[in-house]
Amino acid sequence: MKIGGFESCTLLDYSGKVSCIVYTVGCNFRCKYCYNTDIISEQNFSVSDRPPILESYVLDYIQKHTKMLDGVVITGGEPTLQYDLPLFCQKIKWLDKYVKLDTNGSNPEMLQTLINNKLVDYVAMDLKAPLDKYEEITTYKDIKNVEKSIKILKTSSIPHEFRLTLYPQLKRDDICRAIDLVPGETIYLQNFEPAHAYSEDARNLKALPKELIEQIAEEKKSVANVQLRGF
């Protein structure tokens, strides 16, 4: 596992669980609003001030603080790009901890493997836009992988959620169509934070007004369980 960041304790990232957070290095998306630019690629990480984190350090920390911790959040970057992610999850499970995975849904095969082998207990999948705008927002083209991951989660029994960051270049119709991708599911509409965005242009944008987001959430409540986060 290529780990570029570690937070020892969070009460926010895994609802109902006291967890630590592991940040993996590398992502196959280039979202304009991404705030984890130091770990978006190995090149970015190598020139950042972040020290690499040994897997053994993380596991030792979990073991030493086992009474305090309920689980581990694995985020990124994009964790499913790590070939040894299943083994890392297995090591966490051996320590009798819950595993939450954050993913962009680009690796449905890895997602299915983790679910089939009961190596994750909760999955949060980020939706970026309606499918026809994915490439514009993320530069990612293999949209069928995203569709497959959505289907995997919708048809699995594993607890999960979907999330959509409200990048200001997404119009009202775009947000509504993104919600339409996950009928009957829980989706969190997340506030946009421009300060450390990957794209310089994005840093000059203003977040969408809360009133508009509340209107959309009310309008789409018959489609999905739409929740607001970060407002």
DSSP string covering 107-122: -HHHHHHHHHTT--SE
Q: Per-residue pLDDT averaged across 97-104, rounded?
A: 98
Task: Please determine, for residue 200, whether its predicted confidence score (pLDDT) is greater than 90.
Answer: no
Task: Please determine, for residue 199, whether its predicted confidence score (pLDDT) is greater than 90.
Answer: no
* Phi, psi angle pair for 76, to nearest 5°: -160, -150
Distance CA(89)–CA(110), nearest Å, equals 12
Q: Output the pLDDT for position 201.
A: 84
Is 174 in a helix, a strand, or coil?
A: helix
> Which residues contact residue 53 at a Cβ distance below 8 angstroms, ignoring those fewer than 6 apart?
3, 4, 5, 6, 22
Distance CA(30)–CA(201), nearest Å, equals 14
Task: Please determine, for residue 230, whether its predicted confidence score (pLDDT) is greater than 90.
Answer: no
Structure tokens at 49: 């001030």
Q: Using 50, 70 and 90 to split pLDDT, how confident is the model at 136?
A: very high
CB 182 within 8 A of CB 48: no
Q: Using 50, 70 and 90 to split pLDDT, how confident is the model at 104?
A: very high
Look up residue 81 and give its DSSP letter: G
CB 31 within 8 A of CB 84: no
Q: Find where tokens 């599911």 sit.
A: 185
Domains (range + CATH), the chain: 3-229 (3.20.20.70)
Distance CA(128)–CA(145), nearest Å, equals 13
Q: Using 50, 70 and 90 to split pLDDT, how confident is the model at 196?
A: confident
Pairwise pLDDT comparison (231 vs 58), residue with the higher score: 58
Q: Is the pTM of this model over 0.85?
A: yes
Render pLDDT for 59-91 as a digit per residue (tens, 0 to 9).
Answer: 999 999 999 999 999 999 999 999 999 999 999
> Which residues contact residue 128 at a Cβ distance below 8 angstroms, ignoring those fewer than 6 apart?
29, 31, 104, 134, 137, 138, 140, 164, 165, 178
Q: Using 50, 70 and 90 to split pLDDT, how confident is the model at 198?
A: confident
Render pLDDT for 108-133 as a digit per residue (tens, 0 to 9).
Answer: 999 999 999 999 999 999 999 999 99
Could you tell me which of 66, 68, 56, 43 has the C-alpha nearest to residue 6? 56
